[in-house]
Amino acid sequence: MEPEKADNSLMNLPLCYERKPQFVFKCVLADNSFSPFEHLNVPSSTENCHPFRKEIGALIDNPPEHSFWTSFTKEDTSKDCMWVDSSLQLRELANKLAEQNVFAVDTEQHNLRSYLGFTALMQISTREEDYLVDTVALHDEMALLRPIFSNPRICKVFHGAQNYIIWLQRDFHIYLVNIFDTYTACLLLEKPQKSLEGLLQTICNVDTDKTLRTRDWTERPLPPTMLRYARTDTQYLLWIADVLTAELKEVKKYDESIRRSNKVCLTLYAKGQEDFKLANREQYDCRERAWKLCIWRDLMARIHDESREFVLSNEVMLKFARKVPTIYDVFKSTDDADQRRGRKIDGVSAIFLCHHDDYFNQIISDKSVALDTVFPLILQKCLGMNGTCGINLLNCSLLGNFRIIPFSPLVKKSGKQTSKVSQIPIRKPDVAVYESDGTLKFWCNHGKGQWYLKMGLAEQTQIHGEYALQLKTETLGGPEKCQKIALEAGERYKKTMSSRCEVSQSSHQKMVEAKEYVNIRRAAAALLDRPTIPESRREEYMEIVERHYGRSNLSREDLEGVRKIGLMSCKEEKNETSVEKQIIDNLLKNSGEDGVKRFCEEWKQQFVNDLHPTNLP
């Protein structure tokens, strides 16, 4: 995309203004306002429902057969590659894709310098050609591909489709129908290497540079190394899909992989809300200031279309919450950021320096200030008639629908804090934890992530432009497998101790049944109330509820129906004494504290014998 010509009208804008590719978009579906995202309406869909739910449901009920590749030689993947950056080229691509039965897709995202993020590049590979679509230059034209991606006759191959589904909805109202997810296939096959990089290495003998995924994909022209990396993401994906399909059919899991892949397509994009938690040890005033800082930072990020971390890092924000900053503190934090990496994400940005005097000290130091009055004034100063900041399609709607989430810490009637963790409504998002080979392993809260860093088990990294952790240890088994082995080991040892201490197992059985009801209710609540949970968790929760009903394809009414299941049973069993407590009481009575210590050591040894860990803390 060619750079814009100089505009003298912008010369008087403050330092906080910066030209960005997204400011030239004429069609913005997800702006930075507080309004909910509006999904595409099609004649056959109903309100608050996926517009292609019927078509996706048919694929889940009757999984189709797919043939992805016809040969397994690396030379056969040496295809032509075309850069697509004009409306005519995009229309020609749409016509070619309409004739295909299957093609592979990947995207590159830009998150650091955007509030919601946007798709900066789309890679598409057919059996004959590879295409790199400039979704920055063609952002307003991408609707041409909607009929292709929603066509149930054409299979789209992804690796880790969960995020791509919501990104394409967010940016282009593109909804996926009929997909094959190679990551889902790896899960079913229990592959040790589940990342795309691992599959490229093991199946295609192709190496990739993982560090390129965090580069700025809005750069034009893209360097040759980034072009090669982007092309590789889809160039071999049909080959990989064909290999995995053969393995799935061999173990009779192909139909299940198609079902799971297409269930993910039912996910609907929703705008997220920053959620920042503080530990209970933080004082009330600190939590209140942090809440105000979060609102201020969020507003600045929305106005300037920046990520919140770019405006003001979490580390510096917490420092300012603990102590009201002086002007020296502000500039010291800026200098520290420059010295560390030269990137303002490590401290404070030019946006903060330009706007920290806009009622900032009044907001965080004056408890009597009315925030619902001050923040609209800040908005007017930035975006009003004589506003100091640039106005565009991303931020113009903020003037009409700004709102503040109230601060509501848990407080006793006497005014003292409770022992429970008080939280402000802005919490740090969960941290993605990746294996050493780049495979997404699990999500954890920020506190647990800090523990992994402190113990030297992981290191900080950035994947897809977002903060993440990468484990330093080698994973020898999936968490679900280890959990199953650990539970079985625990149950065996519990039975041994019950027999040794002459403790009845009947009350334990009742408690397990009650806990099972609790798990079913929690799973149903998560599926109903948390649309953005990771797909692996969603599948786990759905399996719990499906086991209860004894069937799949559950409706929303089915999920609502199990929300209250077992409540009476749990209440009746509330006063039961657990087997564990009876065992401990027996040990204390007969052997004292030494008996309990021996019990704990034996329990630990039971897990070691069954799990065979290579490293112990």
| 105 vs 111, residue with greater confidence | 105
Q: What is the pLDDT of residues 476-514, one digit of tens each?
A: 555 545 666 777 777 787 778 877 777 765 544 444 444
State the pLDDT at residue 277.
Answer: 61
Q: What is the mean pLDDT of residues 450-459?
A: 83
| 411 vs 230, residue with greater confidence | 230
State the pLDDT at residue 513.
Answer: 45
* Burial profile 112-121: b = 16 or more Cβ within 10 angstroms, e = fewer: bbbbbbbbbb
Least confident of 37-46, 315-324, 454-463, 469-478: 469-478
Q: What is the mean pLDDT of residues 240-255?
A: 95
State the pLDDT at residue 539.
Answer: 79
Most confident of 19-28, 77-86, 175-184, 297-306: 175-184
Residue 448: CB atoms within 10 A of its CB come to 14
- Measured in degrees and rounded to the nearest 5, phi and psi for residue 50 equal -60, 130
Confidence of residue 32 (pLDDT cuts 50, 70, 90): very high
Listed as own residue / partner, the contacts of 74-78 with beta carbons closer than 8 Å and 24 or more positions apart are: 74/204, 74/205, 74/206, 77/204, 77/235, 77/236, 77/239
State the pLDDT at residue 569.
Answer: 42
Confidence of residue 100 (pLDDT cuts 50, 70, 90): very high
Is 577 a residue whose pLDDT tops 60?
Answer: no
Nearest partner of 14 among 395, 356, 388, 344, judged by Cα: 388
Is 137 a residue whose pLDDT tops 90?
Answer: yes
The CATH number that domain 275-410+419-427 falls under is 1.10.150.80
State the pLDDT at residue 269.
Answer: 92
Cα–Cα distances (Å) from 193 to 202, 235, 437, 477, 492, in that order, read 8, 19, 8, 11, 32
Least confident of 165-169, 306-310, 347-351, 554-558: 347-351
Class of domain 67-264: alpha beta
Q: What is the mean pLDDT of residues 519-536?
A: 77
- Measured in degrees and rounded to the nearest 5, phi and psi for residue 415 equal 100, -10
Asked if residues 390 and 11 have their Cβ atoms less than 8 Å apart, the reply is no
Is 230 a residue whose pLDDT tops 60?
Answer: yes
Most confident of 180-189, 317-326, 486-495: 180-189
- Average pLDDT over the chain, rounded to whole? 78
| 131 vs 412, residue with greater confidence | 131
Most confident of 103-117, 351-365, 423-437: 103-117
Is 580 a residue whose pLDDT tops 80?
Answer: no
Confidence of residue 341 (pLDDT cuts 50, 70, 90): very low
**DSSP structure class, residue 432:** E
The domain ranges of the chain are 67-264, 275-410+419-427, 431-471, 479-611
Tell me the whole-structure pTM to 2 decimals: 0.65
Q: What angle do CA 215, 220, 226 make, to 5 degrees?
A: 40
Q: What is the mean pLDDT of residues 374-399?
A: 85
Is 349 a residue whose pLDDT tops 50?
Answer: yes
Q: What is the mean pLDDT of residues 409-431?
A: 40
Is 73 a residue whose pLDDT tops 80?
Answer: no
- Measured in degrees and rounded to the nearest 5, phi and psi for residue 110 equal -120, 110
Q: What angle do CA 603, 608, 613 make, to 5 degrees?
A: 150
State the pLDDT at residue 431.
Answer: 76
Most confident of 152-166, 285-299, 440-454: 152-166
Confidence of residue 416 (pLDDT cuts 50, 70, 90): very low
Least confident of 52-66, 302-316, 365-379: 365-379
**What beta strand segments (E) does 173-323 contain?**
179-181, 275-276
Is 515 a residue whose pLDDT tops 60?
Answer: no
Q: Residue 331 has which token pair? A: 């500039």
| 462 vs 556, residue with greater confidence | 556
| 56 vs 49, residue with greater confidence | 56
Residues forming a β-bridge with 122: 107, 133
Is 421 a residue whose pLDDT tops 50?
Answer: no
Cα–Cα distances (Å) from 137 to 23, 83, 141, 144, in that order, read 12, 12, 9, 14
The CA distance from 550 to 559, in Å, is 13
Q: What is the pLDDT of residues 186-222, one digit of tens each?
A: 999 999 888 999 999 999 999 988 888 888 999 999 9
State the pLDDT at residue 615.
Answer: 53
| 501 vs 411, residue with greater confidence | 501
State the pLDDT at residue 412.
Answer: 34
Residue 174: CB atoms within 10 A of its CB come to 22
